[in-house]
Amino acid sequence: MRHFLTLKDFSKDEILEILSLAVKIKRKAKKGKFNPYLKDKVLGMIFEKSSTRTRVSFEVGIHQLGGKGLFLSTDDIQLGRGEPLKDTARVLSRMVDMVMIRTFGQDRLEEFAKYSSVPLISGLSDTYHPMQLLADYMTICEYGKDKNLVAAYVGDGNNIANSWLMLASKIGFELRISTPKGYEADQDVLKNAYEFAKKSGSKISICENPKDAVKNAGVVTTDTWVSMGQEDEKEKRIKYFEGFMIDKKMMALAKKDAIFLHCLPAYRGYEVSDEVFEAHANEIFDEAENRLHVQKAVMVWLDRQRKN
């Protein structure tokens, strides 16, 4: 049985297979057609971190697939009162068909998966956000930027940066990452990415100067400098991240037809200027919508793998 915890666990062919399914599902949805691939199936959704896009996209997604989603806040279930994660996994496995968790440590996802007898999906952890990168790549393909792709990620070396490393090294495109000193991407993730890149042909560069990363890139992307749980570091981070904002001057270094992506929520005046954000709003909100379609594809794909 397969789980979906990180792109590290998937081959290029599997990632592209899921994305192909997402394209098919989206095309039909735009015509008002929703195939009940998961008719009467139940998705348990555990949120240890709150969210807008993750909750709405999964809840709407499972509904459009013919199933039902159960929102399970840790304030509402025994997990929030100290029940062992492995016990929660074994209980839910007997009552639902699939589980999604949005949490802090990647180790929590791995422990749950170990004891779960139904597919587990990562809605985000502090280490990875694989669903977001599927949505990003789907958007890149829709805008015709996947050919000879050069992507630049500028900002915090967080779960989004780590997931870009996994996607690039699996698919085989060029990725340049620029972060302030002390805020680099996870070194173990980077090591794994370099290993995967040997097979895929991906070129991965770590740039001290964000301008070097953005120069002639076809896709420019960033994320908030202050992620959930880091609010007490806000002032310190703003100081260290000076010069890493994607503004008009920075974006002008990319290709003339480059697109800009942001996983949201965006904080104008910090990681991105309002001018750049609004100029690329269509791309950003297409990207946000694609979370819905790729997540439906992942749920259908996992259900098929379980049957096989």
Q: Over the stretch 150-173, which tens digit does the pLDDT of each residue have?
A: 999 999 999 999 999 999 999 999
Among the listed residues 127, 107, 237, 106, the one whose alpha carbon sits nearest the alpha carbon of residue 183: 237
Contact 178, 208 (CB under 8 A): yes
Q: Residue 32 above 90 pLDDT?
A: yes
Contact 244, 174 (CB under 8 A): no
| pLDDT mean over 59-83 | 92
| pLDDT mean over 143-155 | 98
Instruction: Please report the pLDDT score of residue 144 as a whole number.
Output: 98
Contact 47, 73 (CB under 8 A): yes
Instruction: Please report the pLDDT score of residue 228 as a whole number.
Output: 63
**Active site (catalytic) residues:** 102, 129, 132, 223, 263, 291
Q: Over the stretch 197-235, which tens digit does the pLDDT of each residue have?
A: 999 999 999 999 999 999 999 999 999 998 766 677 888
| pLDDT mean over 243-251 | 98
Q: CB-based burial of residue 52 (10 Å sphere; 0-12 exposed, 13-18 middle, 19+ buried)?
A: exposed
Domains of the chain in start order, with CATH, are: 7-128+291-307 (3.40.50.1370), 131-287 (3.40.50.1370)
Q: CB-based burial of residue 207 (10 Å sphere; 0-12 exposed, 13-18 middle, 19+ buried)?
A: middle
Q: Which residues contact residue 266 at a Cβ distance below 8 angstroms, ignoring those fewer than 6 apart?
A: 224, 272, 277, 284
Q: Over the stretch 121-137, which tens digit does the pLDDT of each residue have?
A: 999 999 999 999 999 99
Instruction: Please report the pLDDT score of residue 34 as a whole number.
Output: 96
Dist. CA 264–CA 128, nearest whole Å = 15
Dist. CA 166–CA 175, nearest whole Å = 10
